């Protein structure tokens, strides 16, 4: 028998023993955004704890065994999964995505022995067992009695256990193999003559079949960017709840605004285990908005129906008392703490003296309005598709977000989530699309998005598949939609819901052989009659209606009963665009949509990242090939790279290093060009108002579309995005039809100073530093818009001594002597340039600084670079594979053109100690070294 021991999680100890915090713990973690609220509430609300709903968290002292008992694991801490309990994150190393797949083929049982004082609980009416997240198909037993079964990892399950509870108790959760459970459900449907494609993923995915049979993170069965790790586990908190009548589950707060006041529409969603109407009094605290608490006593005489237990009320605040919440880059993110205290009773004569009648909940809200505007356009045909926030049209720019980890029990990692969202904020994201093949993220994720000003386009968890529409499946989906919509809707960051990812276009383009009318009927039954219908629980006049799919033609889709012949009509709604065999550096290949919600290009993570995830006897080239899940293999990457760069041959020693470096360059440049193109279309007849590239993050080290690798280190795309998503940017895009360069000046700021603005055009030669010729002209900026500055014939630049092969151009936007933005134009590919020299680049580590903060050491360094000739796309990499004291690092810039004699790049990272860096700890690459110079 194998025996594993796990370390005790400090947070779980706190969650087990702290009653004061218990009401603020959801999804297995304390939301960091409510810490201040907790302090305020405990200070200002004189509430005896003895009458409160008591919540005890069963997050410690679990055991785990497989079906035949040959494997037994002690001291398991919740949140937990079988993979992580046995091997931690080792599933992400080497070939373990295949070698450890046996785990998902077995059945596993979690067990917890716990004690209760039945004498103390004797007079408490309800003893509730609540499972916030079971992944996925399981039986729940208490003292060998079957409480029920779970089939949806996105659903909270509650069981009233009074008649089963004893002094000493055994709780068992037996989780079935998701692979076998999915196959069984598929076979049951096939026996009825019902096929729900796709049955299996592309063979290159090395995945498992029938992901769409289970209400489970779809990506856990594999994806074109991720491994198959069909997880099983208790991925969220398990709680015992002791109460007499009812408790608050969720609170929804919607905002409307008139000329004088903000009106807050509040819905408090309540759970009650008893099939009995009850009376209640709700006390509402808004410590920054109301001097005194507001008491809602409508239900002290008229009971609340147990069939739909909700308390609704409105409260108004003068406009001058409220600070607006704005998306990132447009203002501050003011959040107001709200606290709710519910007292409930059954006896019509009044409140009871019995304990456990008071339930509490705290949230934070932001005051803002948001609209999705789909009005007929005055130019041409079609409808607009843009978001208006607080009355201002805002161009949405950002990326798509996949799960932060392939194992959902790790999705609560505050450090990982914080790093990703803070990185997005620093790169000027104001919107992230939470993609439909992952999970509904943790409360902490949305709390941090609120605080960061990052709007969330929230997909419901359906992606790239047809789904069954059996009664049991639809019933489970209804619970999923209602519970998650109620949990998420109050967040200032949640901008819109979309019911699925790419399933309308899959039917329209017959991806899975689903042209039969049956599939269209089932599609409408699932998304319109079920998901959209259930989302009405948080519907509000001042909230955008849910999108039925992405991409789609928006509200125009209603004319086609929500399955359009072309769901990617650029004149309506949003589009996804991928055309891997066209030159991504050429803006003419891209559509002119109203909103681009997905687009991107693949790249290879750094070799340092690969070495951290492989074993000594692994072949790096074989591992890269194994983890490249794109159906076209490496062809999409290498085709684009070879169009522009001198990629070594596969048999060359530097091939893999060149492949990683050049793939990141081509990805960064192609995404830059496409994003700038969309931004430049804002004030044209195309009215493009959104660009969300695919994708922000990764779940392992693999070829993918990500801008940040699994370890949190930035690829060149993320470094570059800080410039091409900047509030003020200069764009210089070639137009092959007119053989000219279109220069546009983009400004997202609502107000801008236009004095002292001018543009410089510097013409360089590859053979020497500093410009050989410069032209300048006055310029202006359009607040919250685009100024179309100049159309410059390329022949007017490339003539005389300047040719497309020996020269390149930089455009710089200045305000007086300050550089506000810049961009380069390269008239030919780097395979065809001439007169490039060895830059004789030198790097020196200087100015080491170390300070202590939050139990870590913040290390910073100045890297001084000098060069004698232009150094093309200087790439700096900190070599981490041999050290465990640094997880990720950040440079002030990377992948840059060095066209002057020197520059300084700042390097920062956290470590447990003050680190000394040598030049040998850094790898530096330039395009020059791959050229024949």
Residue 103 and residue 180: Cα distance in Å, rounded?
Answer: 12
> Is the Cβ–Cβ distance between 339 and 251 less than 8 Å?
no
Check: CB of residue 328 under 8 Å from CB of residue 430: yes
Distances in whole angstroms, Cα of residue 237 to Cα of each of 135, 412, 741:
12, 11, 57
List alpha helices for 30-145, DSSP H: 35-44, 82-87, 96-99, 118-121
Q: Tokens 């620093």 label which residue? A: 426
CA–CA gap between residue 702 and residue 627 (Å, rounded): 5
Helix then strand count (H, E) for the chain reads 18, 47
Query: Of 139, 138, 126, 130, which is closest to residue 165 (Cα–Cα)?
Result: 126
What gap in Å lies between CA 515 and CA 836, rounded to an integer?
A: 55
Full 3-state SS string of 631-682: CCCCHHHHHHHHHHCCCCCCCCCCHHHHHHHHHHHHHHHHHHHHHHHHHHCC
Indicate the DSSP class of residue 409: G
In angstroms, the CA 231 to CA 439 distance is: 13
C-alpha triplet 40, 45, 50: angle, nearest 5°: 120
Can you give the pTM of this predicted structure?
A: 0.94
What pLDDT, on a 0 to 100 scale, did the predictor assign at position 713?
A: 98
For the record, the structure tokens of 106 come out as: 């077995």
What pLDDT does 647 receive? 97
- Distance (Å, whole) CA 782 – CA 748: 9
The pLDDT of residue 140 is 98
Q: What is the pLDDT of residue 5?
A: 37
C-alpha pair distances (Å), 742 with each of 450, 528, 587, 733, 825: 37, 44, 11, 5, 11
Question: Are 427 and 721 within 8 A, CB to CB?
Answer: yes
Q: Which residues contact 860 (CB under 8 A, 6 or more apart)?
A: 847, 848, 849, 850, 906, 907, 908
Task: Give the neighbor-by-neighbor strand order of the sheet with 728-735.
Answer: 728-735, 740-747, 785-793
Quick check: 147 and 141 in contact, CB under 8 A? yes
Q: Which domains does the chain have, with CATH numbers?
A: 54-240 (2.60.120.260), 246-366 (2.60.40.10), 370-725 (3.20.20.80), 728-825 (2.60.40.10), 842-930 (2.60.40)
- Tokens representing 148 are 């029920």
815 is written with which tokens? Answer: 């305000």
Nearest Cα neighbor of 536 from 563, 501, 503, 499 is 499
- In angstroms, what is the C-alpha Rg of the chain? 29
Three-state SS string across 119-137, please? HHHCCCCEEEEEECCEECC
Tell me the C-alpha distance between 174 and 109, whole Å: 4
Q: Assess contact for 106 and 177: CB atoms under 8 A.
A: yes
Residue 549 to residues 479, 507, 671, 695: CA-CA distances in angstroms?
20, 12, 24, 19
In the prediction, which pLDDT does 790 show? 96
Look up residue 508 and give its two tokens. Answer: 């329209």
The contacts found for 2-8 with CB under 8 angstroms, 24 or more apart, are 2/70, 2/71, 2/72, 3/72, 3/73, 3/74, 4/72, 4/73, 4/74, 4/85, 4/86, 5/73, 5/74, 5/75, 6/73, 6/74, 6/75, 6/76, 6/77, 6/85, 7/77, 8/60, 8/75, 8/77
Low-confidence residues of the chain: pLDDT under 50? 1-48
Residue 416: HSE in the Cβ half-sphere, 13 Å Cα cutoff: 22
Query: How buried is residue 4: exposed, middle or buried, by Cβ count under 10 Å (0-12/13-18/19+)?
Result: middle
Q: What is the pLDDT of residue 353?
A: 57
Interior/surface letters 529-564, b for 16+ CB within 10 angstroms, e for the rest? ebbbebbebbeeeebbebbbbbbbbbbbbeeeebbb
- CA dist 114 → 85, 145, 167, 239, 904 (Å): 20, 16, 8, 12, 59
Identify any residues that bridge with 402 across adjacent strands, giving them in sequence order.
none
Tell me 225's DSSP state. T
In this structure, what token pair is assigned to residue 49?
Answer: 């704890």
Residue listed under structure tokens 């310029």: 779
- Interatomic CA distance for residues 35 and 42, integer angstroms: 11
Question: Which residues are within 8 A (CB) of 405 and not within 5 positions of it... i.e. 6 or more apart?
Answer: 411, 413, 416, 699
For residue 557, the 8-state DSSP code is G
From CA 534, how far away is CA 63, in angstroms rounded? Answer: 37
Give the H or E element holding residue 376. Answer: none
pLDDT digits (tens, 9 = 90+) for 603-615: 999 999 999 999 9
């Amino acid at each position: 028998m194998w025996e594993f021991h796990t370390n005790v999680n400090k947070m779980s100890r706190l969650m087990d023993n702290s009653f004061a915090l218990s009401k603020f713990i959801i999804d297995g973690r304390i939301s960091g955004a409510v810490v201040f609220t907790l302090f305020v509430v405990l200070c200002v609300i004189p509430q005896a704890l003895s009458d409160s709903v008591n919540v005890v968290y069963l997050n410690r002292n679990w055991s785990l065994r497989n079906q035949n008992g040959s494997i037994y694991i002690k001291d398991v801490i919740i949140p937990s999964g079988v993979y992580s309990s046995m091997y931690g994150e080792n599933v992400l190393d080497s070939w373990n995505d295949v070698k450890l797949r046996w785990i998902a083929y077995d059945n596993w049982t979690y067990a917890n022995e716990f004690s209760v004082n039945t004498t103390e609980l004797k007079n408490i009416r309800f003893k509730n067992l609540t499972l916030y997240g079971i992944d996925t198909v399981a039986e729940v037993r208490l003292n060998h009695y079957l409480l029920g079964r779970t089939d949806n990892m996105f659903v909270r399950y509650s069981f009233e256990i009074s008649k089963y509870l004893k002094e000493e108790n055994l709780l068992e959760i037996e989780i079935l193999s998701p692979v076998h459970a999915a196959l069984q459900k598929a076979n049951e449907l096939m026996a009825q003559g019902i096929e729900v494609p796709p049955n299996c993923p592309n063979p290159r995915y090395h995945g498992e079949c029938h992901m769409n049979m289970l209400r489970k993170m779809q990506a856990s069965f594999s994806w074109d960017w991720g491994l198959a790790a069909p997880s099983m586990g208790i991925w969220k908190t398990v709680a015992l709840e002791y109460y007499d009548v009812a408790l608050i589950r969720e609170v929804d707060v919607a905002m409307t605004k008139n000329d004088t006041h903000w009106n807050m529409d509040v819905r408090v969603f309540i759970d009650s285990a008893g099939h009995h109407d009850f009376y209640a009094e709700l006390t509402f605290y808004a410590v920054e908005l109301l001097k005194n608490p507001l008491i809602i006593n409508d239900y002290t005489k008229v009971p609340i129906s147990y069939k739909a237990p909700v308390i609704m009320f409105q409260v108004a605040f003068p406009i001058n008392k409220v600070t607006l919440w704005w998306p990132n880059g447009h203002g501050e993110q003011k959040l107001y703490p709200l606290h709710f205290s519910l007292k409930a009773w059954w006896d019509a004569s009044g409140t009871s003296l019995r304990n456990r009648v008071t339930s509490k909940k705290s949230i934070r809200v932001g005051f803002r309005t948001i609209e999705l505007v789909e009005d007929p356009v005055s130019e041409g045909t079609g409808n607009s598709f843009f978001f208006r926030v607080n009355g201002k049209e805002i161009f949405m720019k950002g990326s798509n977000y996949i799960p932060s980890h392939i194992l959902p029990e790790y999705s609560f990692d505050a450090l990982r989530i914080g790093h990703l969202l803070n990185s997005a904020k620093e790169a000027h994201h104001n919107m992230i699309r939470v993609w439909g093949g992952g999970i509904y993220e943790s409360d902490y994720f949305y709390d941090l998005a609120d605080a960061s000003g990052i709007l969330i386009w929230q997909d419901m968890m359906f992606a790239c598949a047809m789904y069954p529409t059996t009664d049991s499946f639809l019933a489970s989906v209804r619970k999923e939609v209602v519970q998650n919509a109620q949990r998420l809707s109050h967040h200032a960051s949640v901008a819109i819901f979309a019911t699925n990812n790419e399933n309308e276009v899959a039917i329209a383009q017959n991806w899975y052989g689903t042209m039969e009318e049956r599939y269209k009927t089932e599609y409408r039954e699932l998304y319109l009659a079920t998901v959209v219908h259930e989302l009405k629980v948080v519907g509000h006049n001042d909230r955008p209606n849910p999108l039925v799919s992405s991409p789609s033609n928006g509200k125009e889709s209603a004319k086609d009963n929500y399955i359009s012949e072309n769901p990617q009509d650029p004149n309506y709604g949003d589009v996804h665009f991928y055309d891997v065999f066209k030159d991504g550096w050429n803006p003419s290949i891209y559509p002119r949509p109203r909103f681009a919600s997905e687009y991107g290009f693949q790249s290879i993570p750094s070799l340092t990242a690969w070495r951290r995830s492989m074993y000594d006897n692994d072949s790096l080239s074989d591992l890269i090939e194994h983890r490249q899940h794109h159906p076209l293999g490496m062809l999409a990457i290498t085709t684009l790279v070879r169009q522009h760069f001198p990629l070594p041959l596969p048999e060359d020693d530097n091939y893999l290093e060149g492949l990683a470096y050049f793939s990141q360059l081509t990805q960064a440049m192609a995404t830059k060009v496409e994003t700038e193109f969309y931004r430049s279309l804002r004030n044209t007849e195309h009215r493009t108002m959104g660009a969300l590239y695919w994708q922000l993050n990764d779940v392992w080290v693999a070829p993918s579309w990500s801008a940040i690798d699994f370890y949190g280190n930035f690829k060149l795309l993320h470094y570059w995005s800080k410039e091409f998503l900047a509030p003020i940017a200069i764009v210089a895009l070639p137009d092959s039809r007119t053989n000219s360069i279109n220069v546009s000046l983009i400004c997202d700021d609502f107000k801008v100073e236009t004095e002292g603005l001018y543009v410089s055009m510097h013409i360089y030669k590859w053979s020497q530093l500093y410009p050989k010729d410069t032209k300048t002209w006055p310029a202006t900026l359009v607040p919250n818009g685009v100024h179309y500055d100049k159309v410059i014939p390329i022949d007017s630049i490339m003539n005389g001594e300047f040719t497309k092969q020996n020269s390149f151009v930089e455009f710089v936007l200045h305000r007086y002597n300050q550089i506000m933005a810049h961009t380069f134009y390269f008239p030919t590919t780097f395979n065809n340039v001439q007169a490039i020299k060895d830059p004789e680049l030198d790097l020196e580590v200087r100015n080491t600084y170390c300070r202590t903060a939050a139990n870590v050491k913040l290390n910073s360094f100045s890297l001084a670079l000098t060069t004698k000739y232009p150094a093309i796309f200087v790439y700096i990499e900190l070599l981490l594979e041999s050290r465990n004291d640094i997880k990720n690092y950040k440079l002030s810039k990377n992948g840059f053109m060095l066209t002057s004699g020197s520059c300084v790049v700042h390097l920062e990272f956290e470590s447990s100690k003050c680190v000394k860096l040598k030049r040998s700890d850094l790898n530096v690459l330039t395009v020059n070294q791959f050229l024949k110079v």
